[in-house]
Structure 1
């Protein structure tokens, strides 16, 4: 089997990529959870209570304590672990399906659609229900545990199901699908392109990138998505945050939410939280790929090329 450069290429099993992604997800969650909390608070702020990233972070620490910056960590870490396992594994399966049956080549178009499919799958199966729980926990303000509506991830999920039905866990599914599908299509294509351009690395060639090389490629690959999908992310957060148990919903869905936000808050509101997303997603991709590339690279050397580790 050969890639588009004519070099020998053997496939890494999907389960190896799934394991590599899940390990990377744990590391990412622990390091970057505070940025995600700040992003969520900024996106939900319609009154101008927070003046920016620093003000938001310091306000949370002052009024709720340092631990509040890690609110929702359990669902966030679990969600990232499962999400990356599903993303990396399903992308590997889809890439195999899109390869030319005769040459074994994977076209750029095939890589793009494999990434989009992996993003759609993770959005429906993993991302939406976990982010609904995470956002409901993150939007709560206050120090007293007894006064909080949601006492923790499991209690939150149970309460949502009881008050809003099982579909309450899939609030905001449409913009989440659009966001994740577009993000992963761009990310997998860009990561492969940067690996080839910067480091002459081709999948299956047995070359193990240094962690810093993987971090650079992952960081660059993770930058474009947040800029392109900002409105989908804001709408997703607003839809997930509103409770169906509180009467009439402000936003009826993705198509209704986008013009409503634009009309009431202006065009810039559709990119609220962009800077913290850029502070979280590209570094998150850098951390994840630094771990994942080491796992898959070592597998390539030991089991595909039989090279000493």
Structure 2
């Protein structure tokens, strides 16, 4: 009898059609994402600094990723590679908390009330909604501050316009108004919405395809399995959204100091960059993005999957067949 019960339980856990008595609450998704964001930011900040400098380089000062990194370290000090870490880490922590939590809420809306399943279309819409929400609430103002700090050259405080993240935010509001913190909001919304729609859908698909892991089945992926799924899920977005990211960076970096703005908006920026610098310029910084985002997703999902998996094993019961 015990053997039969154990076999039934194992069969149920391995069955993707099995139902759960309870779902993973959004707050657990938010916690797992925020902790993953802290680890990711600490590891990958230098790559983000290099990406920003390459995207802002109009005169060809940097010959590539390695040259950019060594030039920054040689002329400004190694610490310059961690410029903007405070807003970047805070931004990632809050962003992932909002992203994971809101995605879980949106998915609950799109789930079929009878089967409890969610379609791929529902996953895409949930991911897009989470991306739009994080772009407007968190990503845009934090990235404006981060990019303004990263574009400054040197480490001597007396030579820098912005002395730190709080001072930077205050200066922007004073000189450009509160909306200055939302410069580049349109391309940020497009970039993040598209990225998260692809990422959440791809992560779920890779988990099922590679490891036969279904959300809520009680199975906890090994860290290296989460890293592979997260890395693969994080590759498509940067390629598709490269122009939005370049335009976002240019719009966020410019200020009204000294005259008119060069770029009037997202479409104008795309046209101007294309006419002045060519089509390839719209994908500037793609390689460092690919060096940062997929590994970043690998790190974040490794942490998040372990936390969510622990919750599943302790608190969720797989229903009897």
**Shorter-chain TM band:** over 0.9
Stretches of structure 2 that go unaligned for 5 or more consecutive residues are 1-12
RMSD of the TM alignment (CA)? 1.4
Q: 1:134 to 1:3 in 2, by over 3 A?
A: farther
Asked whether the 8 Å contact 1:239–1:251 carries over to 2, the reply is yes
- Mapped partners of 2:74, 2:307: distance in 1: 40
Does the C-alpha gap of structure 1 residues 47 and 3 become closer, same or farther in structure 2, counting only changes over 3 Å? Answer: farther
Q: Displacement, 1:3?
A: 12
Give me the whole-angstrom Cα distance separating, in 2, the residues matched to 1:271 and 1:255. Answer: 15
The correspondence for 1:7, drawn from 14, 18, 21, is: 18
Q: Indicate if the aligned counterparts of 1:3 and 1:105 stay in contact, CA closer than 8 A.
A: no
Are 1:274 and 2:274 matched, yes or no? no
The answer as to whether partners of 2:120 and 2:201 remain within 8 angstroms in 1 is yes
TM-score by length of 2: 0.93
Counterpart among 132, 136, 142 of residue 148 in structure 2: 136
Say which SS state the counterpart of residue 257 (structure 2) adopts. Answer: helix
Partner Cα distance (1:4, 1:150) in 2: 56
Runs of 4+ in 1 over 6 A off after TM superposition: none
Show the counterpart of 2:117: 105
Is the contact between residue 187 and residue 221 of structure 1 (CA under 8 Å) also seen in structure 2?
yes
1:240 maps to: 252
Tell me, in whole angstroms, the C-alpha distance in 2 between the residues paired with 1:267 and 1:137: 27
Cα distance in 1, alignment partners of residues 313 and 301 from structure 2: 17
Say which one has the larger Rg: 2
> How many residues of Structure 1 are paired with residues of Structure 2 in the alignment?
305
Q: Does 1:18 align with 2:30?
A: yes
Q: C-alpha offsets along residues 155-214 of structure 1, whole Å, 9 cap, x if unaligned? A: 000000000000000000000000000000000000000000000000000000001100
User: Within 5 A, what are the aligned runs for 1:1-309?
Assistant: 5-9=16-20, 10-305=22-317
Shift of 1:127: 0.1
Offset, 1:245 = 3.0
**Take 1:97 and 1:3, find their aligned partners in 2: how far apart are those partners?**
26
State the distance in 1 between where 2:51 and 2:189 align. 19
Q: CA deviation at 1:102?
A: 2.2
* Displacement of 1:300: 0.3
Task: For 1:244 and 1:214, locate their aligned partners in 2 and report how far apart those are by CA, in whole Å.
Answer: 44
Q: Aligned with 1:244: secondary structure?
A: coil
Return the alpha-carbon distance in structure 1 between the equivalents of residues 223 and 14 of structure 2: 24
Query: Does the 8 Å contact 1:99/1:107 carry over to 2?
Result: yes
Cα separation, 1, equivalents of 2:198 and 2:213: 18
Structure 1 unaligned spans of 5+: none
Q: Tell me the residue number matched to 2:4.
A: none
TM-score relative to the length of structure 1: 0.97
Q: How far did 1:24 drift?
A: 0.2
Deviation readout 1:90-126 (Å, 9 max, x if unpaired): 0000000001122221001000100000000000000
